[in-house]
Amino acid sequence: MNRTRRTRDSAILIGAMWFALLPNVYGQGRGGPPPGPPPTPKAAAPIDLTGYWVSVVTEDWRFRMVTPPKGDTQSVPLNPAGLKITNDWDPAKDEAAGEQCKYYGAPAIMRNPGMVHITWQDDNTLRIETDAGTQTRVLHFGNWKPAEGEPTWQGDSIAQWETPRAGRGAPPPKSGNLKVVTTHLRAGYLRKNGVPYSANATLTEYYDLIQGVDGNPWLVVTAMVDDPAFLRMTFITSSNFKKQADGSGWDPTPCSARW
């Protein structure tokens, strides 16, 4: 009797120890690969970013909803070179040069008030369209390599899912976030009044999804801009979007250097 009980207790103990060690083992990446090919980024998506989202402007209202006055750089950590460019801002000059879209590049576009439409272009590519400035961002997963060429407003974006640790045999996590790193940017503006970023800027973004109190999803996009040419430190902002049932508020407008 005692022997049976001891055996049973030992089995429970060993089972518990094995279970307790699981997260650490897999946190070190020592688990074997799952059978079959890995799921595509679309299939592996821990969160669903697709759909129409409207920006909700509760922050930096004066710098986003209207064009701020020339020279107003409040809260942007510009260095003297960046400040000089800001003070030289001339929207007529931008228009004449065909550069009305300087405030619609990747480091600023999610800050623009408007709607964004997120879709899967294919199994490895997420696409973000904006009605403000009628821009399209293309986020590439996997081993995508950018083609040579001139820098663009939206640059080259590499995306990856970041998910919590999961144990062997566990289903794919249904929480996590999207991380996107964008380079090869055409020089543009962080704000419409000429606050600049250079062509050497790097944009790192985190896309987080939360559920609001009313059950409606919210998307929060945190943008970190590193630009040694014009910024003293990493410039960090986060922009909030509310999920829309459809695209009924979709209102494509061209880039504007003034409004």
Contact indicator for 128, 104 with CB cutoff of 8 Å: no
Q: Which of 34, 39, 74, 93 binds other proteins (CB under 8 A)?
A: 74
Using rule CB under 8 A, residue 214 touches other proteins: yes
Q: Which of 31, 44, 51, 72 binds other proteins (CB under 8 A)?
A: 72
Using rule CB under 8 A, residue 62 touches other proteins: yes
Pairing of strands 135-140, 156-162: parallel
Contact indicator for 82, 96 with CB cutoff of 8 Å: no
79-108: which residues touch other proteins (CB under 8 A)? none
Any idea of the CA torsion for 240, 242, 247, 253, to the nearest 10 degrees? -30
H or E stretch including 157? strand 156-162
The burial class, CB within 10 Å (0-12 / 13-18 / 19+), for 191 is buried
The burial class, CB within 10 Å (0-12 / 13-18 / 19+), for 164 is exposed
**Complex with other proteins: residue 125 or 239, whichever CB lies closer:** 239
Contact indicator for 52, 117 with CB cutoff of 8 Å: yes
Using rule CB under 8 A, residue 232 touches other proteins: yes
Contact indicator for 184, 152 with CB cutoff of 8 Å: yes
Contact indicator for 222, 257 with CB cutoff of 8 Å: no
Angle ∠(154,159,164) on CA atoms, nearest 5: 145
How many chain residues bind other proteins (CB under 8 A)? Answer: 69
Q: Which of 40, 44, 51, 54 binds other proteins (CB under 8 A)?
A: 54
Q: Which of 45, 141, 237, 257 binds other proteins (CB under 8 A)?
A: 237
Q: Which of 165, 168, 228, 252 binds other proteins (CB under 8 A)?
A: 165
**Complex with other proteins: residue 56 or 97, whichever CB lies closer:** 56
Using rule CB under 8 A, residue 245 touches other proteins: no
CB of 152 to other proteins, least distance (A): 24
CB of 148 to other proteins, least distance (A): 31
Contact indicator for 161, 136 with CB cutoff of 8 Å: no
CA dist 256 and 237 (Å) reads 22
Choose the stretch contacting other proteins; rule: CB under 8 A; options: 96-104, 118-126, 140-148, 209-217.
209-217
H or E stretch including 107? helix 106-109
**Complex with other proteins: residue 54 or 229, whichever CB lies closer:** 54
CB of 12 to other proteins, least distance (A): 7
Using rule CB under 8 A, residue 117 touches other proteins: no
> Where do contacts with other proteins occur on this chain (CB under 8 A)?
6, 9, 12-13, 16-17, 19-20, 23, 54-62, 65-78, 113-115, 132, 162-165, 173-177, 179, 193, 206, 208, 210, 212-214, 218, 220, 222, 224, 232-233, 235-240, 242, 249, 251, 259
